Amino acid sequence: MIRLDNLRYRYRPGVPLALDGVSVSIARGSIHGLLGPNGAGKTTLISLLAGLLVPQEGCIVVDGEPLNDWRAARLNAIALVPQDYAFYPMLTVAENLAFFAGVQGLPRRERQCQCAKALAFSRLETVANQRAGELSGGLRRRLNLAVGLTGEPEILLLDEPTVGVDSQSRRFLLEAVRQFAATGRTVLYTSHYMEEVEAVCTDVSIIDHGKVLLAGSAAEVKCGRTLEQVFMELTGHSLRD
Amino acid sequence: MALIRDRHGLAALFIMPAVFILIMSLALADSLSGQASLAYVVLNLDDTPVSHALDARLGNVDLLKKSVSPVDEEDARQRVRAGEIAFAVVIPQGFAHQIESNQTPGLRFLADPAVPSMVRNGFRQHVEAVATRVWLTDVLERFGVSKMLPELRQATEHIGSPEIAIEAVSSQGNEAAVAVLPSSVQQTVPAWLIFSMFFVVIPISAVFIGERQRGTLQRLHAQRVPFRLVLAGKFVPFVAVNQIQAVAMVAVGRWLVPLFGGEALTLPGNAAALAALLMLSLAVSVAAVGWALFIASLARSSEQATILGGVGNILMGAIGGIMVPRFVMPASMQAWTQLSPMNWALEGFHQIMLRQGSIADVLPAVCTLGCFGLAALAATAFLNRCTAST
Distance from CA of B228 to the nearest CA of A (A): 12
CB pairs under 8 A between A and B: 60
Residues of A in contact with B213 (CB under 8 A): 84
Q: Does A79 touch chain B (CB under 8 A)?
A: yes
* Mean pLDDT lowest among A203-212, A225-234, B58-67: B58-67
Pairing between β-strand A57-62 and β-strand A65-66 as defined by DSSP bridges: antiparallel
| Per-residue pLDDT tens digits of chain B, which is 390 residues long | 666 666 666 666 677 666 667 776 666 666 555 555 678 898 988 888 888 888 888 877 766 788 888 888 888 888 888 878 888 889 988 888 888 887 788 888 888 887 777 778 888 888 888 888 888 887 777 776 555 566 665 665 566 667 777 777 766 555 444 445 566 777 778 888 899 899 899 889 988 998 988 889 989 988 888 888 899 999 999 999 999 988 988 888 888 888 888 788 888 778 888 899 999 999 999 999 999 999 999 988 888 888 888 888 888 988 888 887 777 777 777 788 889 999 999 989 888 887 777 888 889 999 999 999 999 999 999 988 755 544
pLDDT, averaged across chain A = 89
A83 to chain B: closest CA residue? B215
On whether the CB atoms of residues B243 and B339 are closer than 8 A, the answer is no
Q: Does B214 touch chain A (CB under 8 A)?
A: yes
Report the percentage of chain A scoring pLDDT > 90. 41
Distance from CA of A73 to the nearest CA of B (A): 12
On whether the CB atoms of residues A205 and A181 are closer than 8 A, the answer is no
Out of B213, B214, B222, the one facing A80 most closely (by C-beta) is B222
Greater confidence, A237 or A115?
Answer: A115
Alpha-carbon torsion angle B267, B273, B277, B283, nearest 10: -170
- Name which of B212, B214, B223 to mutate to probe chain A: the one with the most chain A Cβ atoms within 10 A of its Cβ: B223
Greater confidence, B7 or A85?
Answer: A85
ipTM greater than 0.90, yes or no?
no
How far is it, in rounded angstroms, from Cα B253 to Cα B353?
12
CB contact under 8 A, B219 and A80: yes
Interface of A with B in 172-231 (CB under 8 A): none
pLDDT category of residue A97 using cuts at 50, 70 and 90: very high
Distance from CA of A86 to the nearest CA of B (A): 4
B218 to chain A: closest CA residue? A52
What SS3 state is found at B276? helix
CB contact under 8 A, B225 and A147: no
Q: Does B215 touch chain A (CB under 8 A)?
A: yes
How far is it, in rounded angstroms, from Cα B51 to Cα B45?
8
Task: Give Rg (Cα) of chain A.
Answer: 18
What integer pLDDT is reported at residue B9 of this predicted model? 66
CB contact under 8 A, A51 and B221: yes
Distance from CA of A48 to the nearest CA of B (A): 10
Alpha-carbon torsion angle A227, A228, A234, A239, nearest 10: 160
Residues of A in contact with B389 (CB under 8 A): 53-54
Q: Does A80 touch chain B (CB under 8 A)?
A: yes
How far is it, in rounded angstroms, from Cα B386 to Cα B306?
22
Residues of B in contact with A100 (CB under 8 A): 219, 223
Say whether pLDDT at A9 is over 90: yes
A48 to chain B: closest CA residue? B222
- When pLDDT is averaged across residues A116-128 and rounded to a whole number, the result is 91
pTM of the model: 0.76
Distance from CA of A230 to the nearest CA of B (A): 31
B228 to chain A: closest CA residue? A103
Q: Does B33 touch chain A (CB under 8 A)?
A: no
Q: Does A155 touch chain B (CB under 8 A)?
A: no
Contacts of B276 (CB under 8 A, 6+ apart): B268, B351, B352, B357, B358, B359, B361, B362
A47 to chain B: closest CA residue? B222
CB contact under 8 A, B224 and A76: yes
Q: List the beta bridge partners of residue A214.
A: A206
Residues of A in contact with B221 (CB under 8 A): 50-52
How far is it, in rounded angstroms, from Cα A72 to Cα A63?
13
What integer pLDDT is reported at residue A131 of this predicted model? 95
On whether the CB atoms of residues B190 and B353 are closer than 8 A, the answer is yes
CB contact under 8 A, B388 and A52: yes
Say whether pLDDT at A91 is over 90: yes
Q: Does A157 touch chain B (CB under 8 A)?
A: yes
Interface of A with B in 30-59 (CB under 8 A): 47, 50-54
Q: Does A87 touch chain B (CB under 8 A)?
A: yes
Distance from CA of A220 to the nearest CA of B (A): 32
How far is it, in rounded angstroms, from Cα A142 to Cα A140?
5
How far is it, in rounded angstroms, from Cα B375 to Cα B293?
11
Q: Does A72 touch chain B (CB under 8 A)?
A: no
Contacts of B360 (CB under 8 A, 6+ apart): B173
Interface of B with A in 279-318 (CB under 8 A): none
Calculate the alpha carbon distances from B271 to B174, B247, B274 in Å.
Answer: 14, 17, 5
> Which one, of A220, A163, A223, lies nearest residue A196 by Cα?
A163
B227 to chain A: closest CA residue? A103
What integer pLDDT is reported at residue B186 of this predicted model? 75
B212 to chain A: closest CA residue? A86
What integer pLDDT is reported at residue B279 of this predicted model? 93
CB contact under 8 A, A85 and B214: yes
CB contact under 8 A, B218 and A82: yes
Say whether pLDDT at A51 is over 50: yes
- When pLDDT is averaged across residues A211-230 and rounded to a whole number, the result is 85
Contacts of A184 (CB under 8 A, 6+ apart): A28, A29
Residues of A in contact with B388 (CB under 8 A): 52-53
How far is it, in rounded angstroms, from Cα A198 to Cα A119?
27
The 10 Å Cβ neighbour count of residue B258 is: 13
